[in-house]
Amino acid sequence: MSATATPAPAPAAPPPVETMTVKVNGKTLQVPKTMPDWQGKPQPTTMLQAARFAGVDIPHYCYHDKLPVAGNCRMCLVEFGTPMMGPDRKPVLNEDGSPKIAKSVLPYEPGTPRGAIACASPISPGMEIYADSPATKQMREAVLESLLINHPLDCPICDQAGECKLQEYSVQHGQAGSKFVEAKVHKPKEVDLGPRIVLDDERCVLCTRCIRFTKDIAGDDALGIVNRGSYNTIAAWQEGKFDNNYTLNTVDLCPVGALTSKDFRFKMRVWFLKETKSVCTSCGTGCSITIGSREGVIHRYEPRENDAVNGPWMCDEGRLNYKWVGRADRLKDVLVRGQKSDWTTATREISAKLAAAPAGSVAIIASARQTTEELFLLKKLATKLGALTDSIAREGEGDKLLVNADKNPNSNGARLTGIAFTEFGFSLPKIADGIAKGTIRTLIVFGEDVTKHGLGADLLAKLDTLIVSEILPNATTAAATYVLPGAAHAEKRGTFVNVKGRLQKFMKAVEAPGDARAEWEFLHELVFNVTGQNGFVSIEGLFNQMAKEVPAFAGLEWAKVGDTGVNVPI
């Protein structure tokens, strides 16, 4: 912003948050009177939320921030007390003048503490929550014992082991032995709930998170509890019919090993997985994800909570769209005129050709699946070469929850860097025309099969030079003079700008195969060789340089873009 510009008006002070005083584990603190519920509407703050302000995590199974409260697992039972009232409706005071606290007890047995479920009990002024008192501990032990009565205790073969709340709480709050000597109730095992989900009813603690999710979030009221008492069982109306595009979220939600992903189960122990923060590339929403990989192989995607983009959810389609990264036919070699070559040779030849190319004789088609940094570098080349540039639209079906109709993860990156206009494909006919007329002699293609988009093999054959960077082989790479093997998003760092203008960065989870390299690495060499511009040998430096040159990214710095990203004007 220039010094003469009118300073932006100071943001209006947010309305003061009404608070009340409560005590958690002896610590007095002020907490807001209301907190957003699962739909974001203000509701009276609960004991569980108040405890979080004190840094105390009350154990729970059925409660979830983004689901309606059910209050059925009883794991969050805590002992509590409220200020005592005299018959005159005035607080009863201790000798030192502090309010006397009446601990909640059973009305018919005043010696026994009566807990409240912290997830559904609102706080009141002066309330004291005893989250680690002996009575609270006893309640937790009893609840865990009850939950484990019919549990098969098959952790060694259970996929949830290592990220199981039943395991964790048993260690933290449970007791070593079980007093239960009767025969366990047996329930259905390996229930085929849907095409992507397997259910083990014996492991289930009946928290109903899956039922609430599919009914209230996914809008597919497909699951329920059938039978009665200790035979209670999660079920779908017909086996195999739990099939919406969000079913795998129930696997994340399931606090135990009851719901497992057919894709992931029995593949990998979760404690071996390296977790990398990344972004889903399956559509323009760009859900924040965590990539779980081990020894260079990706085993799963999981949604990473980001309220600015996807909340805690992601769609099944995006979640399972990772297998192409490890495909055997990935491009692994640098090819020069069909022969295996190396980066030094290819970079030198391409640089020389581009440097000698007359203005306007080069065109660039770059996919909106490339990172913003790569598109920025390509735009630099284009500016120097006077090249026409464009990107390719990828339209599909969207839905009301997360899936966007734009199947490119970085359409706005392509627009903001100037690679494409608002409407993708605007310059494609001009490029085709230029090639046909012989004015365009060199075509640079990044991440698209242009033979499917109006530039057929006959047109490509008219070019002097076709430079293609790709991840998987296609008809365009087959026709290329130079094939530069690129890296999947999971194999490099960079940023995408989603359909709503959320810029998110993603990290590298696995190595690219063979000689394949992150595109920005060799692009910055090319840009240096052709334009003489330098200063972006690292992704941090490149991003910061881009932020200086692209108005939409003004003021951004790689290090300051958090895990959930930032909004940029689109």
Q: Enumerate binding residues for another protein (CB under 8 A).
A: 221-228, 235-238
- Give the chain's radius of gyration (CA, Å): 29
Who's near 32: CB < 8 A, 6+ residues apart?
17, 18, 19, 45
d(CA 332, CA 468): 13
Shortest Cβ 193–another protein spacing (Å): 11
> Nearer to another protein by C-beta: 242 or 553?
242
Shortest Cβ 208–another protein spacing (Å): 12
> Nearer to another protein by C-beta: 212 or 300?
212
b/e string for 470-482 if b means 16 or more Cβ within 10 A?
bbbebebbebbbb
Shortest Cβ 236–another protein spacing (Å): 6
Please give the helix or strand (H or E) that residue 51 lies within, else none. helix 47-53
Task: With beta carbons less than 8 A apart as the criterion, state whether 466 and 443 touch.
Answer: yes
> Nearer to another protein by C-beta: 237 or 324?
237
Please give the helix or strand (H or E) that residue 502 lies within, else none. strand 502-506
Shortest Cβ 242–another protein spacing (Å): 10
d(CA 141, CA 153): 17
> Nearer to another protein by C-beta: 239 or 307?
239
> Nearer to another protein by C-beta: 184 or 500?
184
Shortest Cβ 313–another protein spacing (Å): 21
Cβ neighbours of 227 (radius 10 Å) = 11
Task: With beta carbons less than 8 A apart as the criterion, state whether 345 and 522 touch.
Answer: no
Task: With beta carbons less than 8 A apart as the criterion, state whether 163 and 268 touch.
Answer: no
Shortest Cβ 187–another protein spacing (Å): 13
> Nearer to another protein by C-beta: 221 or 423?
221
d(CA 369, CA 472): 13
Task: With beta carbons less than 8 A apart as the criterion, state whether 475 and 485 touch.
Answer: no
> Nearer to another protein by C-beta: 221 or 307?
221
Shortest Cβ 192–another protein spacing (Å): 15
> Nearer to another protein by C-beta: 89 or 228?
228
> Nearer to another protein by C-beta: 239 or 423?
239
Q: Comparing C-alpha atoms, which of 444, 483, 484 is closest to residue 460?
A: 444
Residues facing residue 21 across a β-bridge? 30
d(CA 265, CA 276): 20
Shortest Cβ 204–another protein spacing (Å): 15
Task: With beta carbons less than 8 A apart as the criterion, state whether 119 and 63 touch.
Answer: yes
Shortest Cβ 238–another protein spacing (Å): 8
Q: Characterize the bridge pairing of strands 223-226 and 77-83.
A: unpaired
d(CA 116, CA 105): 10
> Nearer to another protein by C-beta: 48 or 211?
211
Annotate 156-196 with DSSP letters as a single string. Answer: GG-TTTTS-HHHHHHHHH--SS----SPPPP---SEEEETT
Q: Characterize the bridge pairing of strands 288-294 and 274-279.
A: antiparallel
Shortest Cβ 120–another protein spacing (Å): 22
